[in-house]
């Protein structure tokens, strides 16, 4: 079956531009996570949705980052006024239930954002 | 301050031999540990996990060992195959960490190369 998909796969933005990154989770998966992976680092948690509710946004690095999942399926991560330090791979993951780490998270291929 | 540490950035092993990847953690509240495998340009793929109530979990060629007193876990791959060449991430989770129960704390990864 279809896995988690993300688009675009690569995005180049000029500093100050706004970007929107899309995640299509596995159909029927309740939980959706966004992670940021800087070069040479492991993924770092950004935010978590259970259906359409954003239950945890403690990892968002600044108020320039905004995520939504209005219908409990597709999610969009928006970064306003991009800065060079925002350059990273943005990973989306979904899980069937997601209320515990034992519920496997399935990751998409990521969007590589480069801010010039 | 890194709560999950993978101190070896890389490991090279001969095909057929054992690969041992190590991971240390600092947060005693972590109660679930996972290993993810990542190929270039792909998202991480779940490999194996272990609950803190166990000290060993085995799945085919992959075994994870947990030493709670030392706050250390390891992944053993026996026998190693060239297709195992990838970056391996150790991850941990704690109940209600950061407000949600599913977000994972990753190490920086270890790049495993299995030579034919």
* Dihedral angle sign, alpha carbons of residues B40, A26, B91, A79: positive
**The three-state (H, E, C) secondary structure of A83-113, written as one string:** CHHHCEEEEEEEECCCCCCCCCCEECCCEEE
| CB within 8 Å: A101 and B105 | no
Q: Report the relative pairing of strands B10-14 and B110-115 from DSSP bridges.
A: parallel
Per-residue pLDDT of chain B (116 residues; tens, 9 = 90+): 789 999 999 999 999 999 999 999 999 989 899 999 999 989 999 999 999 999 999 999 999 999 999 999 999 999 999 999 999 999 998 875 554 566 889 999 999 999 99
Q: How far is B42 from chain A (nearest CA, A)?
A: 4
CB contacts, 8 Å: B91 with chain A: 42
CB contact under 8 A, A31 and B34: no
Among candidate residues B71, B61, B74, B72, the one with its CA nearest the CA of residue B11: B74
């Amino acid at each position: 079956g279809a896995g988690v998909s993300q688009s675009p796969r690569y995005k180049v933005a000029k500093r100050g531009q706004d970007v929107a990154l899309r995640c299509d989770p596995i159909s029927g998966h309740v939980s959706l996570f966004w992670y940021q992976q800087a070069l040479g680092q492991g993924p770092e948690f950004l935010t978590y949705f259970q259906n359409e509710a954003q239950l945890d946004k403690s990892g968002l690095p600044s108020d320039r980052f905004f995520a939504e999942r209005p219908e409990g399926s597709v999610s969009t991560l928006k970064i306003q006024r991009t800065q060079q330090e925002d350059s990273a791979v943005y990973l989306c993951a979904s899980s069937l239930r997601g209320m515990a780490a034992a519920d496997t998270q399935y990751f998409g291929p990521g969007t590589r954002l480069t801010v010039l | 301050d890194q709560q999950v540490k993978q101190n070896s950035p890389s490991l090279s092993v001969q095909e057929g031999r054992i690969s041992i990847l190590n991971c240390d953690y600092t947060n005693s509240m972590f109660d679930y540990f996972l290993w993810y495998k990542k190929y270039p340009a792909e998202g991480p793929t779940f490999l194996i996990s272990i609950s803190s109530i166990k000290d060993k979990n085995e799945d085919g060629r992959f075994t994870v060992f947990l030493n709670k007193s030392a706050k250390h876990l390891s992944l053993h791959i026996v026998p190693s195959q060239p297709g195992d060449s990838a970056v391996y991430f150790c991850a941990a989770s704690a109940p209600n960490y950061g407000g949600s129960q599913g977000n994972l704390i990753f190490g920086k990864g270890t790049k495993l190369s299995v030579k034919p």
